[in-house]
Structure 1
Amino acid sequence: MTDFKSLARLAASEMRGVFDETPLQRNAHLSNLYGAEIYLKREDLTPVRSYKLRGAFNAMRKVLADDAEVGNFVCASAGNHAQGVAYMCQHFGVHGTIFMPVTTPQQKIDKTEKFGADNVTIRLIGDYFDETLSAAQAYCEEVKGYFLSPFDDEDVIEGQASVAAEIEAQLGMVPDQIIMPVGGGGLSSGVKSYFGNACTYTLVEPQGGACLKAALEAGQPVRLAQVDNFADGAAVALIGAKTFARLRDIDPSQVLAINENRLCVTMMDFLNIEGIVLEPAGALALDALKDVADDIRGKTVVCVTSGGNFDFARFAEVKERARRSSGLKKYFILRMPQRPGALKEFLQILGPEDDIARFEYLKKSARNFGSVLIGVETARAENFERIQNELTQAGFDYRDITNDEVLSEFLI
Structure 2
Amino acid sequence: MTVSEAEYLRKVLLSPVYDVAVKSDLVRMNRLSGELNSDIWLKREDQQPVKSFKLRGAYNRMSQLSEAQKQAGVIAASAGNHAQGLAYSARIKGIKAVIVMPETTPDIKVEAVRRFGGDAAEVVLHGTSFDAAKDEAQRLAKENGYTFIPPFDDPDVIAGQGTIGRELLEQNPKLDTLFIAVGGGGLAAGIAVYLKQLKPDLKIIAVESDESACLKAALEAGKPVTLPSVGIFADGVAVKTIGTETFRLCQQYVDEVVTVSSDEICGAIKDIFDDTRVIAEPAGAMSVAAIRKYAKNHDLSQAHVGGILCGANINFHTLRYVSERCELGEQKEAVFAATIPERPGAFKRFCELLGGRGITEFNYRYAREDEAHIFVGLKLRQGQAEFEQIRQTLHDEGYRIFNLSDNEMAKLHVRYMVGGRPVDLPNEHIFSFEFPEHPGALKKFLDTLGDRWNITLFHYRNHGAAEGLVLAGFDIPTDSRRDFDRHLSQLGYHYQEQTDNPAYQFFLSDLTAPA
Q: Under a length normalisation based on structure 2, what TM-score does the superposition of the two structures give?
A: 0.71
CA distance 1:136–1:318, shift in 2 (3 Å): same
Specify the code of the residue in structure 2 equivalent to 1:309: N
Aligned to 2:486: none
Specify the code of the residue in structure 1 equivalent to 2:159: E
What SS does structure 2 have at the residue aligned with 1:19? coil
Q: Deviations over 1:181-208 (max 9, x none)?
A: 1111111111122223423211211111
Question: Following superposition of structure 1 onto structure 2, how do residues 138-287 of structure 1 map, counting pairs within 5 Å?
Answer: 138-171=139-172, 173=173, 175-197=175-197, 198-199=199-200, 200=202, 201-250=204-253, 254-287=256-289
Specify the code of the residue in structure 2 equivalent to 1:247: C
Cα distance in 2 for residues equivalent to 1:273 and 1:189: 28
CA contact (8 A) 2:281 2:314 kept: yes
Higher relative contact order (CA 8 A, sep 6+): 1
Aligned to 1:119: 120
Cα distance in 2 for residues equivalent to 1:65 and 1:305: 35
Deviation at 1:84, TM superposition (A): 0.7
5+ residue gaps in structure 2? 416-515
Cα distance in 2 for residues equivalent to 1:61 and 1:85: 11
What SS does structure 1 have at the residue aligned with 2:279? coil
Aligned to 1:59: 61
Specify the code of the residue in structure 1 equivalent to 2:229: Q
Q: Which moved more, 1:379-388 or 1:323-332?
A: 379-388
User: Are residues 1:136 and 2:137 paired?
Assistant: yes
CA contact (8 A) 1:64 1:70 kept: no
Q: Deviations over 1:350-396 (max 9, x none)?
A: 443322424143x74x4444444343445554664565345435544
Cα distance in 2 for residues equivalent to 1:35 and 1:60: 43
Q: Under a length normalisation based on structure 1, what TM-score does the superposition of the two structures give?
A: 0.87
CA distance 1:349–1:101, shift in 2 (3 Å): farther
Q: Which moved more, 1:109-118 or 1:382-391?
A: 382-391
CA contact (8 A) 1:355 1:378 kept: no
Question: Following superposition of structure 1 onto structure 2, how do residues 52-131 of structure 1 map, counting pairs within 5 Å?
Answer: 52-65=54-67, 67-71=69-73, 73-131=74-132
RMSD value, Cα:
2.8
Cα distance in 1 for residues equivalent to 2:317 and 2:291: 27
CA contact (8 A) 1:354 1:379 kept: no
Matched-pair identity in %: 33
Cα distance in 2 for residues equivalent to 1:4 and 1:144: 28
Cα distance in 2 for residues equivalent to 1:31 and 1:342: 44
Specify the code of the residue in structure 1 equivalent to 2:249: R
What SS does structure 1 have at the residue aligned with 2:233? helix
Deviation at 1:334, TM superposition (A): 3.8
Deviation at 1:398, TM superposition (A): 4.3
Q: Which moved more, 1:296-305 or 1:138-147?
A: 296-305
Specify the code of the residue in structure 2 equivalent to 1:7: K
Cα distance in 2 for residues equivalent to 1:345 and 1:34: 37
CA contact (8 A) 1:113 1:122 kept: yes
CA distance 1:212–1:370, shift in 2 (3 Å): same
Q: Which moved more, 1:160-169 or 1:400-409?
A: 400-409
Deviation at 1:61, TM superposition (A): 1.4
Q: Deviations over 1:206-264 (max 9, x none)?
A: 1111111111111110011221122222231110012112222246x512112221222
Aligned to 1:308: 312
Q: Structure 2 residue aligned with 1:327, among 313, 325, 331?
A: 331
